[in-house]
Amino acid sequence: MSISTNALKNGMALNLPDGLMTVVEFQHVKPGKGGAFVRTKLKNVRTGAVVEKTFRADEKVGHATIDKREMQYLYREGDAYVFMDNESYDQIQVPIQVLGDAINYLKEGDVAVLPSWNDEVLGVDLPASAELVVTDTEPGLQGDRVSGARKTATMETGLIVQVPLFIETGEKLKIDTRTGEYLTRA
Distances 169 to 54, 85, 91, 176, 186 between C-alpha atoms, Å: 53, 34, 34, 19, 14
The CATH number for 100's domain is 2.40.50.140
53 within 8 A of 40, measured Cβ to Cβ: yes
Structure confidence at residue 145 (pLDDT)? 61
Amino acid letter at 97? Q
Give the range of the structural domain holding residue 85, as residue numbers without chain letter. 67-121
What is the mean pLDDT of the segment spanning 33-41? 90
The region that residue 21 occupies, defined by phi over 0 for left and psi between -120 and 50 for alpha, beta otherwise, is beta
Grade residue 144 by pLDDT with cuts at 50, 70 and 90.
low
Domain count, the chain: 3
Q: Are residues 12 and 49 in the same domain?
A: yes
Q: Given a cut of 80, is residue 160 above it in pLDDT? A: yes
Q: What does pTM read for this prediction?
A: 0.72
The CATH number for 56's domain is 2.30.30.30
Q: Are residues 76 and 60 in the same domain?
A: no
HSE toward the beta carbon, residue 148, CA cutoff 13 A:
0
Domain's final residue, options 121, 137, 164: 121
Structure confidence at residue 147 (pLDDT)? 67
Q: Are residues 151 and 109 in the same domain?
A: no
Q: Given a cut of 80, is residue 15 above it in pLDDT? A: yes
Residue 100's CB is within 10 A of a number of other CB atoms, namely: 11
